[in-house]
Amino acid sequence: MTFEKIHTENMVLHYGSKMALNNISINIPEKKVTAFIGPSGCGKSTFLRSLNRMNDLIDGVKIEGNILIDGINIYDKNIDVVTLRKKVGMVFQKSNPFAKSIYENVAYGPRINGVKDKNQLDEIVETALKNAAIWEEVKDRLGDSAMGLSGGQQQRLCIARTLAVNPEIVLMDEPASALDPLSTSKIEELIVQLKEKYTIVIVTHNMQQAARISDLTAFFYLGELIEFDKTKKIFTNPDKKQTEDYITGRFG
């Protein structure tokens, strides 16, 4: 078996004394959209957050097993978390722009990486906003506060902010769950475009969404990875009965 972009092996996560993820082994390929589905509390978000070590912020989380990105164990004690997170960006469920201007939101990442040149920053900001399909809507008001944008626009701004750091992987934790249908479809279109350049891993509650945008789908249930395969196969002819029950809406 070849190691793909993200590869985990017998990964176990304890939250205090409670086991939240059990024996997760998965191989997520590059430049594809991979969706994590499953009922609430199944561990899919927790697993996602392990991939850029955002779980480090939570007390009592203990991880065993290997999580390799490009063949490197990201939980190795020599790993610099800050560098890891630049490579593995994250978009959150609730849009969380900083109370700064649109421009400064996108420029935040490059700035903390030491980019000072105004022209270079302008260029990064423009590219990121274009890649996040929001440039046309905000190009005339980059100096305005990001808080004045609509929910959907804020979320695309947050995606732009993540892209501005030039990550290789973008993790998305239910990025459209708080949005109206129109904004959701914009985000979905965007995700499909983004896979040309980035490896996308998305957690979603919305099975139609997973079916529409993802190439591969992983079904999580009670902290275990039940099935991982091509999205088409998962939704038409899953191997496991639990997967089928969930897909067809018999539980969850």
Partner 1 sequence: MIKSFKKNIKGILIEGLTLSSALIIIAIVVVMFTVIVIGGKDQITWEFLTSFPEDGMTKGGIFPAIYGTALLVILMSIAAVPFGTITAIYLTEYAKENSIIAKTIRFAVRTLAVIPSIIYGLFGLGFFIKFVGTQMDNAFLGGQLKWGQPNILWASLTMSLLTLPVVIVSVEEALKTVPKDLRAASLALGATKWQTIWKVVIPGSISGIMTGTILAVSRGAGEVAPILFTGVAYYLATLPASLSDQFMVLGYHIYVMTTQSANVDKTMPIQFGTTLVLLMLTFILNFSAIILRYRIRKKKTD
Within 10 angstroms of residue 172's Cβ, the number of other Cβ atoms is 27
Contact residue for partner 1 among 62, 94, 141, 250 (CB under 8 A): 94
172 to 1, 42, 109, 195, 209: CA distances (angstroms): 27, 17, 17, 13, 13
Contact residue for partner 1 among 16, 64, 76, 96 (CB under 8 A): 96
159 versus 213: smaller Cβ distance to partner 1: 159
Q: Which long-range contacts (CB under 8 A, 24 or more apart) does 1-4 make?
A: 1/27, 3/27, 3/68, 3/71, 4/28, 4/29, 4/30
Q: Smallest distance, Å, CB 174 to partner 1?
A: 13
Q: By the 8 A CB rule, do 231 and 36 touch? A: no
CA within 13 Å, CB half, 10: 2
Q: Does 112 bind partner 1 (CB under 8 A)?
A: yes
- Please identify, among the stretches 69-77, 159-167, 214-222, 239-247, the one whose residues bind partner 1 according to the rule CB under 8 A: 159-167
Closest to 130 in 3D by CA, of 118, 142, 119, 116: 142
Separation CA 218–CA 227 (nearest Å): 6
Separation CA 154–CA 241 (nearest Å): 39
Q: Smallest distance, Å, CB 114 to partner 1?
A: 11
Q: Does 89 bind partner 1 (CB under 8 A)?
A: yes
86 versus 197: smaller Cβ distance to partner 1: 86
- Please identify, among the stretches 27-35, 97-105, 128-136, 184-192, the one whose residues bind partner 1 according to the rule CB under 8 A: 97-105
- Please identify, among the stretches 6-14, 62-70, 81-89, 223-231, the one whose residues bind partner 1 according to the rule CB under 8 A: 81-89
Q: By the 8 A CB rule, do 159 and 132 touch? A: yes
Buried b (16+ CB within 10 A) or exposed e, 185-218: ebbbebbeebbeebbbbbbbbbbebbbbbbbbbb
- Please identify, among the stretches 40-48, 79-87, 207-215, 219-227, the one whose residues bind partner 1 according to the rule CB under 8 A: 79-87
Contact residue for partner 1 among 99, 118, 143, 251 (CB under 8 A): 99
80 versus 140: smaller Cβ distance to partner 1: 80
Contact residue for partner 1 among 41, 62, 76, 113 (CB under 8 A): 113
Of residues 129 through 148, those in contact with partner 1 by CB under 8 A are 147
Closest to 6 in 3D by CA, of 191, 171, 162, 165: 171
Q: Does 98 bind partner 1 (CB under 8 A)?
A: yes
Residues that bind partner 1 (CB under 8 A): 52, 54, 57, 59, 82-83, 85-86, 89-90, 92, 94, 96-100, 108-109, 112-113, 147, 158, 161-162, 165
